[in-house]
Amino acid sequence: MSLAFAFLTFTILGAIDTERPPNVVFIMTDNHGPWTLGCYGNPDIETPHIDRLAEQGTLFTHAYANNAVCSPTRATALTGLMPCQHGVHRYLGGGAAQVGPQAYNMLEEFDTLPSLLVDAGYVAGLSGKWHLGGNMTPQEGFTSWITKPHGHSLGFYEQEVIENGEIRKEPQYLTDLWTDHAIRFIQQNQSQPFFLFLAYNGPYGLGGAMREEIRNAYRDTYADSEFPSFPRTKPQPWNHNYGEWIGDLQVIRKYAAEVSGIDDGVGRVMQTLDDLHLADNTLVVFTADQGLAGGHAGYWGMGDHTRPLTAFDWTMHIPLIMRLPGQIQANQRRDEIVSNYDLLPTILSVVGLTTKPSGELTLPGRDFSPMLRGEQIDWENIHFYEFENVRAIRTDEWKYIERIHQSPNELYHLTTDPDEHDDLYG
């Protein structure tokens, strides 16, 4: 499909554009709850650039991921499919599927957001975490590619990265590295439509990465901070690991510093778009792969850090902010329930791409682009969740959780029990 034909009939939120479609900057963070951001009400962590992005665009208060861990949620965001459709039910562990001799791309058989945009004339670049296999070489139409050999983050300094088909030890702070490469990609491709997938591996919140010394610009800023926005609740019995981190100021300060480090990177990318006069024709999406509890309801971690595995809100609640000046309403907050599997059809609609993914699978997601314009539309507030043997349905008021070949099933009235402590099932 030629670029001219692809966009001749495109409608960019109601305006015909026969010249150049919007660029797309898709920023995804790792294990990141919206409660850490100022624009979502956090008073303790400095996030001025993400907050400004929210002021300039639309923020969703009830955006959710359909899984608890990285690989499945990333697969969903890029394909628009559920885990039962794309087949990625768990994070890719070890190196075999990522950099070893048996490495393979888990999305190879599907049309994806980057591959669809590349087919329509975009150039695509990845800077950051991939965690979907075949990491050594560019996948899904990407021509610019710098990533990690593995999904887990052991730290943010002196870590291995993949560039030009080789693994090397990188001394630079990874958050700055991903930002630097993202900016370089924008600068090098400013004359053509581009898709940038900027996938930070922070703030992370798990493992040895949180015991690493704070070395970014926020070491002194947060040295004495108590961070009351991190609950000091008693660990729940289901918190299989990391429960002892609740109230641990070393971990809390490190996590907060990584959030603010990402915010600095977002600010630099937004400034680059401004400097190159690209901001007015660039769709910016800011989100996370999944959420993370920082002591909320007695938990630290995600849904795979409990036994049995869980589907509580803190594991699925994610930030979602979208900006396209003049096309997406500024300073708008939407309370509808939207899901990460809604992102692909919505982004394609915003940039005006009429091509749909091929194949026999039906996209479960819905196009919420009218909300971005400030419209009120007929929209059922419902979210579906799949994580290994756990299935969940969430509405405005209720959440039902069912475990296949395992108990207990759970039912919560979220209006009166937002922390999901009072199980009404049975």
Burial letters 338-357, b for 16+ CB under 10 A, else e: bbbbbbbbbbbbbbbbeeeb
CA dihedral 283→286→289→294, nearest 10 degrees, is -170
Secondary structure of residue 417 in the 3-state scheme: coil
Q: Work out the angle between the directed axes of helices 249-275 and 174-188 (0-180°, nearest 10).
A: 10
Is 50 exceeded by the pLDDT of residue 17?
no
What is the pLDDT, as a whole number, of residue 93?
A: 83
pLDDT in the model for residue 252: 99
36: DSSP letter: G
Residue 233 has pLDDT above 90, yes or no: yes
Contact indicator for 411, 425 with CB cutoff of 8 Å: yes
Rounded Cα gap, residues 13 and 57, in angstroms: 14
Q: In this predicted model, which residue has the larger pLDDT, 4 or 307? A: 307
Let me know if residue 3 belongs to a domain.
Answer: no
In a domain, 310, yes or no: yes
Backbone conformation region of residue 91, classed left if phi is above 0, alpha if psi is from -120 to 50, else beta: beta
Give the C-alpha distances (Å, rounded to integers) separating 347 from 70, 357, 366.
21, 13, 11
Q: Has residue 239 got a pLDDT over 50?
A: yes
Averaged pLDDT score across all residues of the chain: 94
- The answer to the question of residue 49 being in a domain is yes
- Provide the pLDDT for residue 15: 42
Banded pLDDT at 24 (limits 50, 70, 90): very high
Confidence of residue 426 (pLDDT cuts 50, 70, 90): confident
DSSP of 158-206: SEEEEETTEEEEE-S-HHHHHHHHHHHHHHHTTTS-EEEEEEEEEE---
Tell me, yes or no, whether 144 lies in a domain.
Answer: yes
Q: Which amino acid is present at 283?
A: L
- Mean local confidence (pLDDT), 234-256: 96
36-40, long-range: CB within 8 Å, 24+ apart, which pairs? 36/203, 36/229, 36/255, 36/256, 36/259, 36/294, 37/259, 37/319, 39/321, 40/319
- Rounded Cα distance between 215 and 157, Å, is 9
52-70 pLDDT, tens digit each: 999 999 999 999 999 999 9
On whether residue 122 sits in a domain, the answer given is: yes
Q: 346-364: per-residue pLDDT in tens?
A: 999 999 998 889 888 999 9
Give the mean pLDDT of 369-376.
98
| Mean pLDDT to the nearest integer, 12-33 | 80
The answer to whether residue 225 is domain-embedded is yes
Instruction: Give yes or no for residue 308 having a pLDDT over 60.
Output: yes
Average pLDDT estimate for 41-62: 99
**Would residue 288 count as lying in a domain?**
yes
Residue 358 is part of a domain; what is its CATH number? 3.40.720.10
| Structural domain for 143, as ranges | 22-383
Give dist(CA 28, CA 265) in Å, integer: 12
d(CA 343, CA 320): 10
Is 316 strand, coil or helix?
A: helix
pLDDT score of 29 more than 60: yes
Mean pLDDT of 9-13: 42
414 pLDDT above the threshold of 90: yes
Rounded to whole angstroms, the Cα distance separating 145 from 135 reads 9
On whether the pTM is more than 0.75, the answer is yes
The helices-and-strands tally (H runs, E runs) of the chain is 10, 19
d(CA 245, CA 144): 38
Dihedrals φ, ψ of 270, to 5°?
Answer: -65, -40
Whether residue 247 is contained in a domain is answered as yes
Choose the weakest-confidence range: 99-108, 144-153, 213-222, 294-303. 99-108
- What does the buried/exposed string (b/e) look like for 192-230 if buried means 16 or more CB atoms within 10 Å of the residue's CB? ebbbbbbbbbbbbbbeebbebebebebeeebeeeebebb
Sorting pLDDT into bands at 50, 70 and 90, what band is 12?
A: very low
Q: Domain total for the chain?
A: 1
